[in-house]
Structure 1
């Protein structure tokens, strides 16, 4: 038997084992018996289970929100209706700003996207509980620092690691006008986010390049940041723009819940949040679109986003949802009482559902094309969302 055949046999044996037994046998059992409170999507009430049980749910294709640390998320904002941006936004961009955005969008190329995703997907995996997860978030942090070095003298910029109870950090970058004397906590925030972790659902310690889920969203918003700097965009007074690379989405939206809860408790004012989760895949036989979720989101802001797709991108849009079988970090912000929306690469059933969360989620994903051209349309949407919502009246 060749080494390749032996490896294939071992992987088949591992796949046939209960995932908790597998983790114990391979020495990855630390914390598997820890008890958690988990709201499984599609179920009426949360239930207690272990970290190992969460892995069993993942292998079964069940998604959830681990609410152990944030059972009261949204309670403060339920009493602060004035903090929630609920009115329909009206475009107020100056023509000169809109023209600059179009110039930058028309000159976009994919060289940074290609280089960034090659590096990001080269990590063995980006499991939030692992050293690889920590290393991947460290790389995002350093890379964002490098990008911000080219920022305008009219901006105040910063990036920091948001620490969690697990090794992987979230990364948050912030842009605001240098001449803005508004107190930081009085500013309204415009947020764009993606999750930086990846997980192999069959064998959580094994290879998970996560090139599409959500490496594509991660590098997309890196390019959004570059493009806004290239356009010399400066947020208006009273507004700060933030980029969130969230840790541990695959663990039950853990990173984004930590952040949203911190912001809620501190009285942060969020004008709008856009989550970008998967932007690269175009299924064979389908036409490229930008899909916007119509469940678990603010539909007023979502409707505004459809107008941005029409104005700034070359693609049509459509609504999509996945019912109780999936979720992403926008749900943490929605639960906290903030207006949040989510965009993805296509209708839910046109996503590469058999390839993500496996070693096959790479640039050669089967069943369609890993399209950098498609990703660039989401860069345009991200740039437009930040600029338009920041300036909207």
Structure 2
């Protein structure tokens, strides 16, 4: 309708990300005959909601809100909806798929992976007997719910964490800063490194690493031991429209702060592994696993060996009247590693555990690692068919009614993460 059309004038000088469809200059002068754009790249939610009601298509709304970058929505992308064959669609089709609640991977820049299945089951090597119970329980004693609450309140204060938005960039930098603060307090004997893994899109992934302490590794004559990877994603997306708020408290703020807290507890406890142990916070999971795809592919191309990868995604929602249960994905993962990780959970977590088959159309950042042959395991809060109904909306918040958001539940997953890296990474006294 003409009365809702937007007229924008953008003076370009220094480009920074603003929204799904494109870029705006930080010093740009934007003239709108609507209240859509308010300040700091935040939008009038009621106005955008009205546009969505009228057009019933997020792509058309994006064309109206950001007409200078509408052409980007037509760019061809090779997308594979989980459980289907890959096919050529467009950048705009991503918005439609998300609105339908479908998960997908963007293979446009990774077409060598096109023919592989994301749902294959593999079984690999046997895994070590649990032997570091005393060390793991000592580290678990360092966990703090207050610390996780403070971190998640800060993380969810960003308007959204969409991978093409200025907020997504700022939130990634915030995560980096939290890890850097932890590293700055590390005991001298703990060897650590931190890097920003940049992508073609604005939001970066973050990799923190415990460097190996060469004790038994040297005596065994094998310094270049494969690394252990813990992963989660730090972006969020409102599936109605990327310009809307997306606090992403559960998906996947819960995983983000769980890994921050596990990392902090291990640093504070003086963790000195025999092999490299890495913590990954991925960008752009909601855009088709873009961040983890690039990281996994670079590791493969550089022959960086990974012994095992464990993904945590959505860890806090407990439906009223149910028992919080740690759910391990049993499809599209490594069977033996998953069974071993379930044994780790039984040893160190207090919550009950279960195995669940991932329904078609669901997925997370462990899948690119499985694609390149790395044994993977993944855990989440509940069967996706009964998962948090507020995910990918403005309502994915900490303060859910009836206490359905549980930091105590996040702590249970964090215990498993600590057990996973210590039992596989070893400990040099």
Fold in common (TM above 0.5): yes
**Aligned mates of 1:235, 1:74 — CA distance in 2:** 36
- Tell me how far apart the structure 2 counterparts of residues 184 and 345 of structure 1 sit (CA, whole Å): 38
Query: What is the RMSD computed on CA atoms of the aligned residues?
Result: 2.4
Give the CA deviation at 1:220: 0.3
Instruction: Tell me the equivalent position of 2:30.
Output: none
Indicate which of 280, 288, 298 corresponds to 2:324. Answer: 288
Query: Taking structure 1 as reference, are residues 202 and 178 closer, same or farther at Cα in structure 2, changes over 3 Å only?
Result: same
* CA deviations over 1:226-282 (Å, ceiling 9, x no partner): 11122222111xx10000000000000000000000001111211111100011111
Q: Tell me the residue number matched to 1:36.
A: 77
The 8 Å contact of residues 193 and 211 in structure 2, kept in 1 or not, is answered as no
Distance in 1 separating the partners of 2:45 and 2:63: 19
Of the candidates 247, 271, 275, which is equivalent to residue 233 of structure 1? 271
CA contact (8 A) 2:193 2:208 kept: yes
What is the aligned length?
A: 374
Determine which of 120, 123, 133 is the counterpart of 2:155: 120
Partner SS for 2:299: helix
Q: How far 1:285 sits from its partner (Å)?
A: 1.3
User: What is the CA distance between 1:167 and its match in structure 2?
Assistant: 0.4
SS in structure 2 at match of 1:155: coil
Q: Superposed, which structure 2 residues align to 1:314-333 within 5 Å? A: 314-333=350-369
Deviations 1:136-167 (A, max 9, x none): 11111111111111223223211111011100
Query: Partner of 2:206 in structure 1?
Result: 171
Equivalent of residue 296 in structure 2, options 260, 278, 299: 260
**Secondary structure at 2:80 match in 1:** strand
Aligned partners of 2:123 and 2:334 also within 8 Å: no
CA distance in structure 1 between the aligned counterparts of 2:400 and 2:76, rounded to whole angstroms: 36
Distance (whole Å) between structure 1 residues aligned to residue 287 and residue 401 of structure 2? 26
Contact 2:142 2:265 (8 Å CA) reproduced: no
2:106 paired with 1:71: no
Q: Separation in 1 of the partners of 2:159 and 2:237?
A: 10
- The answer to whether structure 1 residue 91 and structure 2 residue 126 are counterparts is no
Is 1:153 paired with 2:188?
A: yes
32-41 or 296-305: bigger deviation: 32-41
Equivalence for 1:350: 386
1:25 maps to: 64
Structure with greater Cα Rg: 2
Which residue of structure 1 lines up, in the alignment, with residue 340 of structure 2?
Answer: 304
1:74–1:264 Cα contact (<8 Å) kept: no
1:277–1:11: structure 2 CA closer, same or farther, 3 Å change rule?
Answer: same
CA drift of 1:63 comes to: 1.3
Secondary structure at the counterpart of residue 211 of structure 2: strand
DSSP 3-state at the match of 1:72:
helix
* 3-state DSSP of counterpart to 2:72: coil
> Aligned equivalents of 1:70 and 1:365: distance in 2?
39
Cα deviation code 1:103-123 (max 9, x no counterpart): 332453301100100011011
Q: Mapping of 1:210-221 within 5 angstroms?
A: 210-221=248-259
Contact 1:91 1:391 in 2 (8 A): no
C-alpha distance after superposition, 1:277-315 (max 9, x if no partner):
011111111101110001111110000011111110101
* CA distance 1:155–1:299, change in 2 (3 Å): same
SS in 2 for 1:349: helix
* Structure with more relative contact order (C-alpha pairs < 8 Å, separation 6 or more): 1
Unaligned runs of 5+ in 2: 1-34, 36-43, 117-121
Q: What do residues 61-107 of structure 1 show as CA deviations (whole Å, max 9, x unaligned)?
A: 1111111111224999xxxxxxx9921102253xxx42132133245
Distance 1:188 1:10, change over 3 A: closer
Please report how far the alpha carbon of residue 124 of structure 1 lies from its aligned counterpart in structure 2 after TM superposition. Answer: 0.5
State the 1:367 CA deviation: 7.0
Partners of 2:173 and 2:393 in 1: CA distance: 23
Deviation at 1:351, TM superposition (A): 1.2
1:363 aligns with 2:402: no
- Match 1:243 to one of 253, 263, 279: 279
TM-aligned CA distance change 1:51 to 1:367, over 3 Å: farther
**CA–CA separation in structure 1 for the residues paired with 2:109 and 2:175:** 25
Q: Which residue of 1 aligns with 2:88?
A: 48
User: Bigger CA drift: 317-326 or 134-143?
Assistant: 317-326
